[in-house]
Structure 1
């Protein structure tokens, strides 16, 4: 299955398949042998081809944070349906979805309010951890689907945006 990840503003299409040793990454027409192992001491090692690299990986919902060779990267998984909507110039970023099940702790916006990319929209709690949800683009809050204290499942539409007039 083909997947898409955003690294910064660039989108990368990739697929994974099994190889004799571990996995094979299909990226931009290349086949790259990869493997990820965690040692008894908790440290992780990424093997890319013949290179063995120490790596630190953390996840938050659909975001993956990678620290590799002195550089930090933030990757974001993009659901195939959202990708198709974006390619059709639809509203892939018009629906702000829950990255995990949880409840609303604080709402920072109201319906009809103009917001800027990166602005805090709400704070949610999941398993005693708070996560701030920010605007993916400039827009106007079209609807707020949940109130403070209400619970929701992963992928629930929390808010919807419409373009600025």
Structure 2
């Protein structure tokens, strides 16, 4: 019974993937979906049917679209850290939070967001390259075949 109550507090409960993708495509269009989500099914020959087929097979992409639906299209506040660990369909939305109007999105905003993410990833790469690696031993050189012998299995053959 608690599962029924919990799922009742999630705007994704009862919404099929096809319905979700068609609502998003009608409201935003495939170009904006690709710009924000960077999933090729919204760029290469986009259609609701092909997108749904891909999303059903690919968990990471489906969760990305479901989160976009919750937080951009339904304008819910971001999930708590505990809820964020769960897939979007399993998240519980507090009863006082009701879906709002869809967020207004543009291709210019998507480009700025993409640039911001690229800078953040570049900074993360620089920081991780500067950190010393802990717990890893340097690789020891492996002995190669004996000089003049091209067959590494030669010593076991008789």
- TM-score when normalising by structure 2: 0.20
Which protein has the bigger strand share?
A: 1
- TM-score when normalising by structure 1: 0.19
Which protein has the bigger helix share?
A: 2
Larger Rg: 2
